[in-house]
Chains A and B, each alone.
Chain A
């Protein structure tokens, strides 16, 4: 019944006499997607999933919902417990894979355990970027990327009756943390180095709508600034000092300046990497039988036409799935992904797709801005195609646009309709409609 494997497995090379021995390092979106794909074709092969976390399964994007008490712990898994049993997965929890022996083909765990593999998937995800700031090690300073973080923050809030918090970084993670803390009635100041929040995807107008909404609920947004020191008393956070010498009292500081691919494991090996582990269109690394997927990898960005990390859930799932198919011997090609996200803040839904900030000579911008309703829609066109979208407060049917970006549809014939209120499936060229309805939908 219990799929958790016992510790200290001795190496037994070829301990599976029939079938492939798959090992997946990482138990999140891409790792699990690979398992599903492998099992579509290979019911027999042995699958081992190694996770450095204790929870049998949970959805990382949900940690802000957990902290904000919108989702209880029992709803954190995105797969049922039975999934591991039904798919005959040997799940190793709470163990860090620290080294790879690529020649003899086994994974070495922190406790010395050795896990042999025939096919390996590196799906180690991302990890928070931690800046060097004086006072980072004080109690009450946290990053916010995994379940442990969320639980530690929750305990800290309870134990110290936290009333005020500073969030460093007005990107996606910072704002998700903010959203959760708002739910807990904590007063927040967001400190952002750029001139606006969500600066990687939002332009000034879009950011302004969210900033205004945040200010309305008494959440400060301090742009063009950063923390230079965190001060404390008795090892507890007391205040942060900003670049402009301003001081903000706080009992909690959340560091959310970004994530980078977690590539520790590949670092001292012959696996090729850039920021992330390089994966080709079959999610293969440069080493035979070693694959990479998800936030730790750099796979194809189909808009930019090059490999780069795209740390988003749907891309991780897709990459994991493609990796799994290829590991199981079913050749499937990854069509690439592009940056996209859906974030709701202060009750304002937003969706951004692709290259939202391009504004070169060859770009054309279509815009709809309704100040009263706080609705903003922007479309970036290049060579007759949509390359970027920002939708704030009206996201209905956004996926149609995502499809147009992904499929590189020439929209010049109907671009005047793109921002009309009744824009819909019917506005698309007949040929493309037919392709969508009859053909296989190309997955994003």
Chain B
């Protein structure tokens, strides 16, 4: 339905304060949502990293900043290592990696809310439209 609640929750989750007002108004670098809501006519959907099995971004990364988490298989970013070369943006066929240039230039992508039981976009989708499931 295009409510964009997932975007709001995602941004807050990836803020330092985890407080919605501070996250939107007072933080520098400003946190970025890692989920993209696309709308066209009556169709809308939320899109985030698919954590591809054969992930093009992992191959394109020149620093080793992007890596596969050994436990749950997520594609994660080591922000300290990232130099903002944007090779990952160039190869992601979903277009779900974006530039975060507020502070040090780094890529910005979904991390499946590591540490949380389920990602906040899933937890807070009023429509149950975003699901989180393991695929073998």
Contacts and interface: CB of A to CB of B under 8 A. Distances in A.
Interface string A347-362: 0010101000000000
A45 interface: no
B54 A424 contact: no
Please classify how large the interface on chain A is, using the bins under 10, 10 to 19, 20 to 34, 35 or more: 35 or more
B93 A398 contact: no
B86 A342 contact: yes
A42 B52 CA distance: 23
Interface string B89-109: 111111101110000000000
Given A65-B83, A351-B89, A396-B89, A317 B59 contact: yes
A396 B98 contact: yes
Contact of A426 (B39, B50, B62, B99): B39
Contact of B91 (A62, A399, A424): A399
B81 A75 contact: yes
B90 A398 contact: yes
Interface in A49-79: 59, 61-62, 65, 70-71, 75, 77-79
A395 B94 CA distance: 14
Contacts of A441: 50, 52, 54-56, 93
Interface string B23-43: 000000000000010111001
A321 interface: yes
B91 A437 contact: no
Contacts, number: 123
Contact of A313 (B62, B84, B93): B62
A80 B65 CA distance: 11
Contact of B54 (A75, A314, A427, A443): A443
Interface string A282-298: 00000000000000000
A344 B91 contact: no
B130 interface: no
B85 interface: yes
Contacts of A398: 89-90, 95
B95 A427 contact: no
B28 to A, nearest CB: 19
B45 A399 contact: no
A61 B62 contact: yes
Interface in B52-74: 52-56, 59-64
B99 A349 contact: yes
A59 B95 contact: no
Contacts of B60: 313-314, 317, 444
B47 interface: yes
A227 interface: no
B87 interface: yes
A340 interface: yes
Nearest to B44: A426
Interface in A388-431: 395-400, 402-403, 406, 422, 424-427
Given A426-B38, A426-B39, A400 B95 contact: yes
B85 A400 contact: no
A396 B50 contact: no
Given A342-B85, A426-B38, A402 B91 contact: yes
Contacts of B94: 399-400, 425, 436
A342 B90 contact: yes
B59 A318 contact: yes
Q: Which of A62, A398, A443, A444 has most chain B Cβ within 10 Å?
A: A443
Given A78-B62, A443-B54, A443-B59, A71 B95 contact: no
A440 interface: yes
B89 A314 contact: no
A395 B59 contact: no
Contacts of A396: 89, 95, 98-99
A200 to B, nearest CB: 17
Contacts of B44: 426
B40 A426 contact: yes
A61 B59 contact: no
A249 to B, nearest CB: 32
A75 B63 contact: yes
Contacts of A61: 62, 85
Contacts of A436: 93-94
A86 B81 CA distance: 21
Nearest to B105: A344
Given A59-B63, A78-B61, A426-B39, 17 more contacts: A62-B62, A79-B64, A313-B62, A314-B56, A314-B91, A340-B90, A342-B89, A342-B90, A349-B86, A395-B90, A399-B90, A399-B92, A400-B94, A425-B38, A425-B45, A441-B50, A443-B56
Interface of B: 36, 38-40, 43-45, 47, 50, 52-56, 59-64, 80-81, 83-95, 97-99
13 contacts: A70-B83, A341-B90, A342-B90, A344-B86, A398-B89, A399-B56, A399-B89, A399-B95, A399-B97, A402-B90, A424-B36, A441-B56, A444-B59
